Structure 1
Amino acid sequence: MMFSILLLIFVPKSEAKTGSLLTGTYDPNSTALINERRDIQEIDVLRQIINQETLICLAVVKDVKAVVDDVSSVKRSMESTVTIVSSLQPALNTLKRQVDFLIRDNTLAQNVKSLKSHVDILLIQDKISAQKIENLERRVDTLSKDNALQQTVDTLKTRVNSLSRKQRRKNKKIVMICEKTIQETEQKFNRNIAEIYELLKNRTLQIVKKGSKITDCKDHYLQGQTQSGVYEIYPFHNESQVSVYCDMETEGGGWTAIQKRVSGSVSFNRTWAEYKNGFGTPNDSYWIGNDVIHQLTKRSNSSLYVSITLQNGRPLYEFYLQFSVSDEKDNYKLFLGGPATGTLGDSMLDTGYPNYSDLSGMSFSSPDKDNDRWSGNCAAFYGKGGGWWFNRCHGAFLNGPWSSAYWYRAWYPTIQRESMVTETMMLIRRH
């Protein structure tokens, strides 16, 4: 653009010179004409200079464009290189960490050096051992040729074997003596244990005989009764006896059954008075009576053992360490303490629903006397008559209608269907 402007500036001047020639005023020696020639020459020089500068500028522009293209190419190469380096950076970092770890871990090099030293030592020792073995072999070869020495060796072997047989016989004799001594000691120990057991048994019988009449099944057991069955007890310390079923086999024996059911022949849909005094027969099904339960548990701490037998004959149980029942004035309130252990699962003490089915601290209810926390009467709900300790209402109810759909939650959730049950027992034993 600059060169075009310069050309436009000089062109009018040359045209002026030409015009003067055309007008007829041309004088070759005139000063003006001389000046015009000089100006024309200068314009020609300037044109040549301008043309040269234009060519130089075009060349420079071409070179600059080439440089720009080269720079762009280098930039693209650099961007590609940066991308490759970025992709390789995690691997480079991992390698760097490994190299740093190897540089820091001089222990490996030291261990290798130590192992190499040990190997060198072992090689030397192996060489020495091989030399010793070779020397011993030569000595053995030499000694084997000496018959007298061989005879001596044989003699020594014979003597060693003889001494070995004697020692074995002696050891055997010692072992027999020890075994005999141990056997005699065991027999003596067993006799002493039997004598001590007999003395304790006699002492227990004397203690029981010195007291009043037998009050529970544990007294029968202490007197030597080991057969389960129906026995007579005197829980009120007078002539009034009560027939009960005694379990002399479960968990050491001496358990008094306060509830027992083996069939539906005995209805448990009873009144408050019947649950107070007891009903049924111990040979089949019965409730011992709330007054008797109170008498049996007021004198000392007692445990409760609940047993349920299924149709397939499998027995399940739950054991409660503490069990007692208050008197009638307190509505025969139940006190139950754990820990509860067994195969039935706890459905009375700590059921997970304390305001609904935990029974410890609950009063006894019957179809004709409502003492539960529910607005209705759990003992008479929908014809499911039966006395029990209810909350709102229960998760365990062993006195419901036997093996029927109305027997609701006999022992929830272990017993899902009451028709699965063939026998129930509630056993107590004083500590």
Structure 2
Amino acid sequence: MPQVRTGSLLTGTYDPNSTALINERRDIKEIDVLRQIINQETLIRLAVLKDVKTVVDDISYLRRSVASTETMSSSLQQALNTLKRQVDSLRQDKTGAQKAEILQRQVDTLRRENKVLAERIENLERQIEINKSNALQQSVETLTTQVNSLSREQRRENKNIALNCENKIQETEQKFNRNIAELINNITLQTVKKGSKIKDCKDHYLHGQTQSGVFEIHPFHNEIQVSLYCDMETEGGGWTAIQKRVSGSESFYKTWEEYKNGFGTPNDSYWIGNDVIHQLTKGSNSSLYVSITLRNGTTLYELYHQFSISDETDNYKLFLGGPATGTLGDSMLDTGDSARDLSAMSFSTPNRDNDRWDGGNCAAVIIMRAAWCYNACHYAFLNGRWNPAHWWGPWYPTVRRGKTVRGTLMMIKRH
């Protein structure tokens, strides 16, 4: 067989059908394609760069043109003004008519050249009008907001005026009511002055006494005087204190006679006397005001609108009626336990048993040991032993033990 020649184009010895030569040709073609692609990409980049440069140059040119236009506009306007002045001057000079015509042509030329500037000025004016419109709209909105705010303030002011008028009306009504009350008090005072001696604290109040303290009264319409404490501030004033305790200096473990006539001192602790209470409440409607001051300083009260006691022949029987109102709660009239209700109960002392307890005398047992209008026995008991260990139920259930009590007060006032 003849020998096959192998090699490459580079060595000068080759076989057109050899694999190496075919691969080499393929590589050359790929290189040519790559060169073409690179050349095209380079041309594109150069074109883009040229376009970009052109755009940048155009922008710079436009900026310079704008600046030049603005400058030219100002210069043209100044030249136009100068020419106008010269034309006017030449028109006045008949010998300068020809120069005036020349200047007029120059003016016309300047006007034509200024046409573009005039259009730009018109555009600017339109833009200014648009801006003015927007500013006007904002101003309208601002004014609307201010008007709404002023309207709200006006409504508040009107409300305040109405409230002040209402307060003035109320003040006038109160003043009128006070004047009527003073007139009634003056009429009552004149009536009291024409009558007998002062009977109770309400008479003192009607005579102008407005400070609480110890006063003298004549409950029996004779020369017998009774010293007692008058409260001129609570619930309109004029209250006569029939029982008062501010310390344990006065024992309330007393006999029937002592409770009948009264004992103690008005400045501290006392019982006014059952005969006096009967005399003050007979033949008239009276209210009973009960208060308990606790050791923490709190004062609780209960008000009964009907109160009286009978005379000694009826064992000073208690008559109590509602409504009962206050912060103590009702522990005398309607307690929910018929054996503890005190209305219609007779008075009992350690030496005279008038209660309804079959087991003994409520006033004599160790946890009570003091006089009261007992049933069998009580839920309310303000005369208990000051010893905390033996004073049960001063005002059950609000005040359960005497150890919490600093003072008690029972007051009456005729209607």
The RMSD of aligned alpha carbons is 3.9
Matched positions, count:
288
Report deviation, 1:251: 2.5
The verdict on how the C-alpha distance between 1:198 and 1:384 changes in structure 2, with shifts beyond 3 A counting, is: same
Aligned-pair distance for 1:178?
12
| Alignment of 1:210 onto 2:191 | yes
Does structure 1 residue 337 correspond to structure 2 residue 329?
Answer: no
Question: 1:368 aligns to what?
Answer: 351
2:178 to 197, 208, 220: 197
The corresponding residue for 1:92 is none
CA distance in 1, matches of 2:330, 2:178: 37
The partner residue of 1:305 within 289, 297, 300 is 289
Question: What is the CA-CA distance between 1:367 and the residue it aligns to?
Answer: 1.1
Deviation at 1:219, TM superposition (A): 2.5
Q: Residues 180 and 412 from structure 1, CA distance in 2 versus in 1: closer, same or farther, beyond 3 angstroms?
A: closer
Q: Deviations over 1:108-160 (max 9, x none)?
A: xxxxxxxxxxxxxxxxxxxxxxxxxxxxxxxxxxxx9889x99x999x99xx9
Residue 293, structure 1, aligned to residue 277, structure 2: yes
SS at match of 1:381: coil
Do residues 416 (structure 1) and 389 (structure 2) align? no
- Cα deviation, 1:270-328, whole Å, max 9, x if unaligned, reads 11111111111111000011111112222322221211111111112222222111111
Structure 1 residues 308-366: Cα deviation after superposition (integer angstroms, max 9, x where no partner): 11111111222222211111111110111223232222221222220x21111100011
Match of 2:101 in 1: none
Q: Is the 8 A contact 1:271 1:366 kept in 2?
A: yes
Confirm or deny that 1:346 pairs with 2:330: yes
Please say which of residues 282-291 and 318-327 is displaced more in the overlay: 318-327
> Tell me, what secondary structure is at the counterpart of 1:206?
helix
- The Cα of 1:417 is off from its aligned counterpart by 2.2
Q: Using a 3 Å threshold, how does the CA distance of structure 1 residues 178 and 420 change in structure 2: closer, same or farther?
A: closer
What stretches of structure 1 of length at least 5 have no aligned partner?
A: 1-143
Q: CA deviation at 1:264?
A: 1.2
Q: 1:230 aligns with which of 209, 214, 217?
A: 214
Amino acid of the residue matched to residue 321 of structure 2? G
Task: Give the aligned partner of residue 59 of structure 2.
Answer: none
Match of 2:386 in 1: 402
Does the 8 A contact of 2:188 with 2:206 survive in 1?
no
Task: Give unmatched runs, 5+ long, in structure 2.
Answer: 1-123
Q: CA deviation at 1:242?
A: 1.6
Q: Secondary structure at the match of 2:363?
A: helix
Is 1:392 aligned with 2:369?
A: no
1:137 maps to: none
Amino acid at match of 2:214: V
CA contact (8 A) 1:268 1:387 kept: yes
Partner of 1:322: 306
Measured at CA, do residues 351 and 178 of structure 1 come closer, stay the same or move farther in structure 2, by a change above 3 Å?
closer
Does the 8 Å CA contact 2:392/2:400 hold for their aligned counterparts?
no
Structure 1 runs (4+) greater than 6 angstroms displaced: 144-147, 175-189
**Structure 1 SS opposite 2:322:** strand
SS in structure 2 of the partner of residue 379 of structure 1: coil
| TM-score normalised per structure 2 | 0.58
Is contact 1:398-1:411 (8 Å) kept?
yes
In structure 2, do the counterparts of structure 1 residues 279 and 192 end up closer, same or farther at CA, with 3 Å as the change threshold? same
Three-state SS of the structure 1 residue aligned to 2:211 is: coil
Which deviations, in whole Å up to 9, do the C-alpha atoms of 1:73-115 show, x marking residues without a partner?
Answer: xxxxxxxxxxxxxxxxxxxxxxxxxxxxxxxxxxxxxxxxxxx
3-state secondary structure, aligned to 2:334: coil
The secondary structure found in structure 1 opposite 2:366 is helix
Matching residue of 2:86: none
Counterpart residue identity of residue 201, structure 1: E
Secondary structure of residue in 2 paired with 1:207: helix
SS in 2 for 1:389: coil
For the 8 Å contact 1:246–1:254, the answer to whether it is kept is yes
Aligned 8 A contact 1:403 1:421 in 2: no
Q: Which amino acid in structure 2 is aligned with residue 379 of structure 1? A: A
Partners of 1:350 and 1:407 in 2: CA distance: 22
Within 1, Cα distance between the matches of 2:173 and 2:397? 50
**Kept in 2: contact 1:334–1:363 (CA 8 A):** yes
- For residue 266 of structure 1, what is the aligned residue in structure 2? 250
Deviations 1:39-82 (A, max 9, x none): xxxxxxxxxxxxxxxxxxxxxxxxxxxxxxxxxxxxxxxxxxxx
Per the TM alignment, residue 404 of structure 1 is displaced from its structure 2 partner at its CA by 3.2
Contact 2:367 2:391 in 1 (8 A): no
- Specify the SS of the correspondent of 1:350: coil
